[in-house]
């Protein structure tokens, strides 16, 4: 029996990338389905969240995310090119114009509907967090191809879906909060939330209790 979980991610969260990169091989070795539920980054859902936090949290984040990436053998740079979210001069509040994040989030939604959401997210993350100029030179198209998707089809999908995609992403955010958390990554298994990539082992333990088996 296939066990299914919802995975809430943002397209700016390195921890979301770490969780996706750990779950993807598990879906290949075990009878597990991961339903990708993209949401906008926290800074867009709660514009004052970063500005109001203790500055020590930001400093700790940079230490921990770099350490976690090294531990997992995954790429990470503190300066993605470009940052998916445009910010003001402080870097702590979003800019009024967001030319990138809405498009990439909708592409991720389209990839999920085409059956390759998890793999596309991982491939995108490897571009973004390696510091590559990820929106140039067909790199996103290459990420889609490695995920078994046609990038032109994804672009056609988001052009056709229009405001419906935005509404679905907003609904994902409401569902995330209803699950018991607001941050990403959050995995939800039968109504039980697991926030953070550091809950991976507990998630697998619970999945096994729910009947997760090797293929």
What are the tens digits of pLDDT across the range 123-164?
A: 999 999 999 899 999 999 999 999 999 999 999 999 999 899
Residue 50 predicted with pLDDT over 90: no
**Domain boundary assignment for the chain:** 3-209
* Band of residue 212 on the pLDDT scale cut at 50, 70, 90: very high
Residue 2 predicted with pLDDT over 90: yes
Query: What architecture is the 3-209 domain classified under in CATH?
Result: 3-Layer(aba) Sandwich (3.40)
Q: What's the pTM?
A: 0.96
The mean per-residue pLDDT over the stretch 54-73 comes to 94
Burial label for 96, CB within 10 Å (0-12, 13-18, 19+), is exposed
DSSP 32-64: EEEEEEE---HHHHSTTTTTTS-HHHHHHHHHH
Residue 53 predicted with pLDDT over 90: no
What are the tens digits of pLDDT across the range 3-29?
A: 999 999 999 999 999 999 999 999 999
Question: What are the backbone dihedrals phi and psi of residue 164, each rounded to the nearest 5 degrees, phi first?
Answer: -60, -40
* Band of residue 1 on the pLDDT scale cut at 50, 70, 90: confident
C-alpha gyration radius of the chain: 17
Q: What is the pLDDT of residue 91?
A: 81
Tokens read off for 24: 């993807």
Please calculate the CA angle 152-105-147 and round it to the nearest 5 degrees. Answer: 50
């Amino acid at each position: 029996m296939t066990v299914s979980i919802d995975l809430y991610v943002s397209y700016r969260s390195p921890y979301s990338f770490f969780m996706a990169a750990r779950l993807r091989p598990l879906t290949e070795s075990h009878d597990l389905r991961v339903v990708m539920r993209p949401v906008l980054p926290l800074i867009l859902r709660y514009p004052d969240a970063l500005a109001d936090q203790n500055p020590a949290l930001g400093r700790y984040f940079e230490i921990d995310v770099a350490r976690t990436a090294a531990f997992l053998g995954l790429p990470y740079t503190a300066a993605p090119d470009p940052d998916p979210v445009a910010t003001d001069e402080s870097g702590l509040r979003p800019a009024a114009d967001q030319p990138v994040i809405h498009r990439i989030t909708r592409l991720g939604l389209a990839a999920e509907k085409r059956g390759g959401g998890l793999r596309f997210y991982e491939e995108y993350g490897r571009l973004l967090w390696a510091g590559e100029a990820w929106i140039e030179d067909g790199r996103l198209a290459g990420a889609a191809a490695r995920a078994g998707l046609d990038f032109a089809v994804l672009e056609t999908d988001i052009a056709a879906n229009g405001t419906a995609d935005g509404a679905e992403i907003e609904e994902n955010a409401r569902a995330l909060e209803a699950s018991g958390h607001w941050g990403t990554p959050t995995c939800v298994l039968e109504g039980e939330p697991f926030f953070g990539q550091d809950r991976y082992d507990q998630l697998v333990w619970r999945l096994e209790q729910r009947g997760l088996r090797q293929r």
